[in-house]
Structure 1
Amino acid sequence: MPPSATRPSASRRLGGVVAALGGVLLFGYTLRQTGLDTIASGFARVGWAFVGIVALGGLRFAVRAWAWVLCTDPPHRLRLRDTFPALVGGDALGNLTPLGLVVSEPTKAAYVRDRVSLMNALSGIAVENLFYILTVAAMIGGGTLALLFEFVVPPALRVMSLIALVGMAAFLLVTLALASGRWRPLSWALDVMARHHLGPAALLARTAKLRTLEEQVYTFARRHPSRPVPVLLLEASYHVLGVAETWLTIAMLLPAGTPATVLGAFLLESINRFVNVAFKFVPMRLGVDEAGSGLLTQVLYGSSALGVTLAVVRKARMLVWTGVGVLFLGLRGLNPVDAYEADEA
């Protein structure tokens, strides 16, 4: 969808502010319950390993940036040096504001407008996101099943896990239906709005462009049958690197003699993916990540403080890359307004 058609309404902005305030309050409460001394001690144990944590975060951006390159429709061509700063910059704005995807995705497209048209940039981003969503659903579903079968979990966490499992299964089916190219929900919605004279005029005026964009996105796999497998492997690599980052962090935080397990890291990363999907509207997932990780590490290691510290270390890594993203945007001369004002090149 063209960025200008996604201008946030007053109610959405208000909702975003409320979500941000709620996240800050939950974050403060969680830190108070855990104890700042406990968290500071955990950071001290991480030490120089934080450099490796930040590096793994950068590699995760790189594999998704490479996937975006492969999702760009030929003969248009993007390079990794185009998509990497665009991805980091867009993610930075998405983390800093309650607008999430509304601002991050158009910013990525605006960043590469000197290489491809806005329509082609948005199409590539949407295709990459579609493959990413498939792997996220599989990651969350796999983590939920492993948790339920391998551990005795509190009733509240079991109910949450079952809800997440059902939600991810439905999400996976919908995404597969979209990827097949046979279901066009956007075109259907536009037809309904045009028939009943509903929806903003700015949106309806872009019906032709939106239909073209939907056609490019949902038929990508059929038009380029050699691309889906390498893209899916790159998206899977993103999650593997996430598990490695979590394992490294937990290994540094655990007391001497207590081993960090790959299964534990996988479960913690899967709940992190769920938090990122379900609470994208909360800037940097403040409070929510700490609460979710603390609940899970209580089950895995008997310590909720471990999960809270893990989440805070993750926040520090996010802040480093958010700073890099803001720098990229500044050097490129972009700001959030550009994400909304950009139009077809």
Structure 2
Amino acid sequence: MRKIEWVLLALGLALFVVLIDRVGWGEIFRQFRQIGWVFLLVLGVSTGRYLARTRAWQRAFAARDDTPPFWQLFQVRLAGESLNYLTVAGPILGEPTKATLLRERLPVAVGLGGTLIEAGIYGLTSGLITLPGLVLFLVRVTLDPGLQRAGWLVALLLALLLLFSWMMLRRRLHVLSAAVRWVSRGPLGRRLERGRPHLEQLEDQLFLFYAGHTRAFRAVFLWDCLAQVFAVLEIYVILAALGVRVGLAELVIMEGMGKVIKAMFFFVPGRVGTDEAGAAFVFQALGYGWALGIGLGLVRRLRALVWSGAGLAFLSRYAIRRPA
């Protein structure tokens, strides 16, 4: 990692320790003891989420004869997701890795195209839960006026992004590559411009998939929606184990705001400390207290580490089978 990334990681760890110290180690241990065996149920729910996304990914290849089997895709997904979670590069490294691991079954370009199509549609479904979650949070909670205005601005921008994404698909508008062309006039210049043709190619693949494989597109969308349902269900299971019952609106707020916080602090390695701090802020604002938010964040982090360990095991297996 570069020096700035080490600094960000250190700051995240410091924030993490401060949060735990503020709540109290005894309270954290009490929450984990209270969850106990229910953690296995949490893993089961998250398994459903990974299975749904794997099925969506499989359908993104539009029933090609050389589409890899489901179990292989599941292993490769876990391998790629472990890199997404544990490395600073995140999806920049994890998504191409998935396509590379499939190269014995699919051309890398085809594998990357299907991978990015599913990731793009999943991003769309994430926006569909983030927007109502953010709006409900802003309506229900009284914040500092400046923070409130910033929140509504983010909600407006997200709504416009979702609208433009839909228009881009329907009318085949090269919005992303056009935006890169405009931004490349600035200081980033040539570096962005070099990647623009590849972005245009990806947009064309997405347009072709949407127009030529309508049923497959709908299937990917619905499976990714199911994955979002599992993410919300996971929060419910964890809070129920801690003796707290919440309604659907609050669950949407918690998941939606969690996605906002992840997007805001994507540059922090592993989002160490930021996920827990964000959950603590949201739960405190909703009246549940810091401790419950931090507890939820820690349980979800432990779940992510378990799956990342499985993903690294699959990644090492593929590395041994396919030596350089």
* Both structures adopt the same fold (TM-score exceeding 0.5): yes
Name the CA distance, whole Å, in 2 between partners of 1:201 and 1:34. Answer: 44
Alignment match, 2:263: 277
Give deviations 1:125-174, integer Å, cap 9, x for gaps.
1111111111111111111222233x233326634532431232132134
Q: Does 1:244 align with 2:233?
A: yes
Indicate if the aligned counterparts of 1:38 and 1:305 stay in contact, CA closer than 8 A: yes
Q: Does 1:267 align with 2:253?
A: yes
The CA deviation at 1:18 is 3.6
Q: Which amino acid aligns with 2:61?
A: T
Structure 1 residues 311-320 or 287-296, which shifts more? 287-296
Given the alignment, which residue of 86, 96, 101 partners 2:91? Answer: 101
Q: Does 1:294 align with 2:280?
A: yes
Indicate if the aligned counterparts of 1:67 and 1:235 stay in contact, CA closer than 8 A: yes
1:144/1:224 Cα in 2 relative to 1: closer, same or farther (>3 Å)? same
Q: Does 1:225 align with 2:214?
A: yes
Give deviations 1:45-96, integer Å, cap 9, x for gaps.
1110000101111211111111111111453423321221111111111211
Given the alignment, which residue of 18, 27, 39 partners 1:50? Answer: 39
**Equivalences for residues 83-98 of structure 1 within 5 A:** 83-98=73-88
Name the CA distance, whole Å, in 1 between partners of 2:32 and 2:150. Answer: 30
Name the CA distance, whole Å, in 2 between partners of 1:274 and 1:134. Answer: 14
1:218/1:26 Cα in 2 relative to 1: closer, same or farther (>3 Å)? farther
1:190/1:302 Cα in 2 relative to 1: closer, same or farther (>3 Å)? closer
1:334/1:125 Cα in 2 relative to 1: closer, same or farther (>3 Å)? farther
Q: Secondary structure at the match of 2:142?
A: coil
Q: Which amino acid aligns with 1:282?
A: V
1:118/1:190 Cα in 2 relative to 1: closer, same or farther (>3 Å)? farther
Given the alignment, which residue of 119, 122, 125 partners 1:129? Answer: 119
The CA deviation at 1:187 is 5.4
Given the alignment, which residue of 303, 310, 313 partners 2:296? Answer: 310
Structure 1 residues 132-141 or 14-23, which shifts more? 14-23
Give deviations 1:294-332, integer Å, cap 9, x for gaps.
112113343111001110111100110000000010111
How many pairs align? 317
Give deviations 1:94-143, integer Å, cap 9, x for gaps.
21111111111111111211111110011001111111111111111111
Name the CA distance, whole Å, in 2 between partners of 1:201 and 1:334. Answer: 35
Q: Which amino acid aligns with 2:34?
A: R
Given the alignment, which residue of 155, 167, 190 partners 2:157? Answer: 167
Q: Does 1:77 align with 2:63?
A: no
1:171/1:182 Cα in 2 relative to 1: closer, same or farther (>3 Å)? same
**Equivalences for residues 15-34 of structure 1 within 5 A:** 15-34=4-23
Indicate if the aligned counterparts of 1:73 and 1:120 stay in contact, CA closer than 8 A: no
Structure 1 residues 268-277 or 40-49, which shifts more? 268-277
Q: Does 1:180 align with 2:170?
A: yes
Alignment match, 1:147: 137
Given the alignment, which residue of 190, 204, 221 partners 1:199? Answer: 190
Please give the TM-score of this superposition, normalised by the length of structure 2: 0.87
Alignment match, 1:215: 204
The CA deviation at 1:19 is 3.1
Q: Which amino acid aligns with 1:32?
A: D
Q: Which amino acid aligns with 1:63?
A: A
Q: Does 1:60 align with 2:80?
A: no
Name the CA distance, whole Å, in 1 between partners of 2:308 and 2:206. Answer: 28
Please give the TM-score of this superposition, normalised by the length of structure 1: 0.82
Q: Secondary structure at the match of 1:226?
A: helix
Name the CA distance, whole Å, in 1 between partners of 2:135 and 2:266. Answer: 23
Name the CA distance, whole Å, in 1 between partners of 2:296 and 2:262. Answer: 15
Name the CA distance, whole Å, in 2 between partners of 1:105 and 1:288. Answer: 23
1:142/1:45 Cα in 2 relative to 1: closer, same or farther (>3 Å)? same
The CA deviation at 1:185 is 4.7
Indicate if the aligned counterparts of 2:31 and 2:242 stay in contact, CA closer than 8 A: yes
Name the CA distance, whole Å, in 1 between partners of 2:276 and 2:39. Answer: 18
Indicate if the aligned counterparts of 1:250 and 1:265 stay in contact, CA closer than 8 A: no
Name the CA distance, whole Å, in 1 between partners of 2:211 and 2:320. Answer: 35
Indicate if the aligned counterparts of 1:284 and 1:315 stay in contact, CA closer than 8 A: no
Q: Secondary structure at the match of 2:190?
A: coil
The CA deviation at 1:239 is 1.1
Indicate if the aligned counterparts of 2:12 and 2:268 stay in contact, CA closer than 8 A: yes
Q: Secondary structure at the match of 1:263?
A: helix
